[in-house]
Structure 1
Amino acid sequence: MGKSFSSNQPRLELLPNELFIEIFQYIDSTDLRNFKGLNKRIHDIIEALRIDINVHRMETVNTTFLSAFNPSQIIRLDMRNPWSSMNLTSMMKLRSLTLDCGCLTRKQVDQMTTLTLPYLERLSVHNATLELQKLLLATIFRGEHFPSLKICQLKLKPTHDLKLCNTNRLPNNTVRSLTINSKWSWHEFEFLLNQLPHLRRLEINLSELYSVSVTSIHPRSSIKNLRITLNDPLNDLKKLLKLTPNLVRLRIRGSFGSSSALEHFNEIAKVLSDLVPGLKYFDCELYSYSWEGSNVQNIRWLHRLYKDVQCLWGQHRNQCYATDINTYPTPNEYECEYLDESVF
């Protein structure tokens, strides 16, 4: 044993490459660059690694460490800080990309709609402008720039309603999950379903009533998970669930206004039983403002999936019936600042 680990023999060199690779997987990229140049063997091991980079918004971040890695090494990039030298076109092996548009240069924003990332599976974009929103969606729908994309999340500036150029194009059969916080009309929603026929998870905000019968929209049996904000939760839900008969998980957000929450939950229970009998998970964030007291116990008896419904109280008799939050959200767009008792 004395010969195997003599003081003249560098013990680090006895470790196999596989162990170095395992160790380096647990080291943050900001620290990993310090190992480069330690010796040729370790340098070569690091050069062959696949790198995850995660830089969230901070007051001061030195991004010079990123130049220590070959862009083709980066497979996951979560960048929410300015990085003026970032060139997305050189990161051809990216599999996951998260960006904050507020931190990008104009050139970097332009790259997002023109580059091709053949291995990208997950795309998340925050604070996108209205124009970039349209270009990104058009790029995603076409599919040739991100042929492997499965999950897409667009956190857009909420001041705009979504307006698309509904030109005829081939559907994208790859995308499985889509999250967009901008408002969609029912007409745009129909176009979306046609463009992404194999969606399994969808999170959107529907703002307008559909002017044409929803019977013209073909049901989408692939959608299993739906998170939806509705202008009229009860009536819109009746139309929407006809299009998603195989739904397994549902979350709805909206407002009953001054109407009875108990009556609305009763009607929704009937809709759920009739249209999505296979539903297993139900969450809600439904607002109400009235002098009516909490009906939580009665609501819970209406449907087997209502067991977690609770009533959260805001100011001025504002209520939120919810399953997956514990504090009344404030501010929110449904809050009534003053209730006239004579109205009730």
Structure 2
Amino acid sequence: MNEIFLTFELLPNEIFINIFKYLNTSDIFQSFYNLNFRFNTLIESLNNLHLTISEDNQYINIDLFSPYIHSLITIGDVNINLHHFKNLHRLILHYPTNKLLEQLDIDNLPYLEYLSIPDILFGMSFIYQKIFSNKFPNLKFCNLFGFETIETILNWTTQTLSLRILKIGLIDFYVYKAILYACPNLYYLQLKMFQSYLKLSYIQIHSNLKKLEIYSEIYDWQYNDQLIDIFLECVPNLEQLSIYRSISISKILDLIPDYNWLSSIITKRLPLLKYFILCLHIEYHLEFIEFITTETHRQLRKFFFNAHKNRYQSRLIIK
């Protein structure tokens, strides 16, 4: 009986591709690259290679494989040259340095489709300028949902036609309008809303936005409702609306009997709405601890569902 010996290199490409899924990119290149023509061709054909660089491993030799990286994550103070990542489609920057942010341009990132910078506290104006002036024509997803208040708009010269999903920080109605104009094909928008006393001007309709998430920490609910009404007037084709807001337990009991839970605003502004979620964060104080009861939560849900029933799916989340 003949014995058959199977060598590692005789395994089919599909097996190697599955093996590579369990290895990080640097290990793949250090272990398999330049073994032979077959492995080089196979590795270079992979279109989902990812790499995470932090302060602990930033000095690894990335010159060999950086042109093949599809997804890159940086964490903290890392000193890299984005120009080496010519095939980059997905970029996530946690606590980046200004030197790294300055490298964000089309010459370094011609294929960028996904950009996330979620941890910046300030100094992002020049990033907004690039995003909303079509400096990344392939960009489809952008997360800038940090803590900075966007108060001024530089010269956003051209529209960003490719952007579909945007998560942005604190904005007022003026910046909101500018973003809607700059991104006419936007499908999903997440924002933080802050109080503004700007004189409101002409409302321009955005027809393509279908999903909107609004985070608000404005405690004056009457004024907050007025702002929400104005924000919703711009997006009449909205199908999904989520609103996250806060209220003190000391005020919630007075609110229960008479508040219409935005139902009149939604009826007026959003005829195509299919889903509405209100996430209510109740702030508890020791002097009102006795009012925090299951019955209070039951009453809140009862009045909420009565306001929205039989028109669209609705959900109240109490935290």
Q: Do the two structures share a fold, i.e. TM-score over 0.5?
A: yes
Q: Work out the CA distance in 2 between the residues paired with 1:263 and 1:212.
A: 33
Distance in 2 (alpha carbons) for counterparts of 1:169 and 1:175: 15
**1:1-344 aligned within 5 A:** 2=2, 5=4, 7=5, 11-36=7-32, 39-40=35-36, 41-55=38-52, 61-65=56-60, 67=62, 69-84=64-79, 86-102=80-96, 104=97, 106-113=98-105, 115-131=107-123, 133-144=124-135, 146-156=136-146, 158=147, 160-167=148-155, 169-181=157-169, 183-209=170-196, 211-213=198-200, 216-230=202-216, 231=218, 232-256=223-247, 258=251, 260-262=254-256, 265-287=259-281, 293-294=296-297, 295=299, 296-304=301-309, 308-310=315-317, 322=318, 328=319
Q: Distance in 2 between matches of 1:173 and 1:39?
A: 44
Deviation at 1:220, TM superposition (A): 0.9
Q: CA deviation at 1:76?
A: 0.7
Q: Share of identical aligned residues, percent?
A: 24
Moved more, 26-35 or 185-194: 26-35
Between the aligned partners of 1:109 and 1:167, the Cα distance in structure 2 is 19
Q: Is the 8 A contact 1:201 1:225 kept in 2?
A: yes
| Distance in 2 between residues matched to 1:176 and 1:16, nearest whole Å | 39
Decide whether aligned partners of structure 1 residues 18 and 68 sit closer, same or farther in structure 2, where only a CA change above 3 A counts. Answer: farther
Task: Please give the secondary structure, in 1, of the residue aligned with 2:132.
Answer: helix
Pairs aligned (count):
297
Deviations 1:266-306 (A, max 9, x none): 15122222321321222222345676944222322221357
Query: Which shifted more, 225-234 or 297-306?
Result: 297-306
Structure 1 segments of 4 or more deviating over 6 A? none
Structure 2 CA distance, aligned partners of 1:185 and 1:240? 9
TM-superposed CA distance for 1:94, in Å, is 0.8
Aligned counterparts of 1:90 and 1:34: Cα–Cα separation in 2: 18
Cα deviation, residue 135, structure 1: 0.7
CA contact (8 A) 2:245 2:279 kept: yes
Structure 1 46/155 Cα, relative in aligned 2: closer, same or farther at 3 Å?
A: same
Q: CA–CA distance in 1 between the matches of 2:235 and 2:159?
A: 19
Gaps of 5+ in 2: none
Amino acid at match of 1:186: F
**Unpaired runs of at least 5, structure 1:** 311-321, 323-327, 329-344
SS in 2 for 1:98: strand
Shift of 1:80: 1.9
String of CA shifts for 1:7-41, please: whole Å, max 9, x gaps. 4xx52232333442343244332542442258324
Other structure's SS at 1:302 match: helix
Q: What amino acid does structure 1 have at the position aligned with 2:168?
A: I
Preserved CA contact (<8 Å) 2:238 2:270: yes
What SS class does the counterpart of residue 241 from structure 1 fall into? Answer: helix
Tell me, what secondary structure is at the counterpart of 2:231? helix
State the Cα distance separating 1:200 from its structure 2 match: 0.9
d(CA) in 1 for partners of 2:257, 2:61:
57
Q: What is the CA distance between 1:223 and its match in structure 2?
A: 0.7
Q: Could you tell me how far 1:101 is from its partner in structure 2? A: 2.9
Shift in alpha-carbon separation, 1:240–1:165, aligned structure 2, 3 A: closer
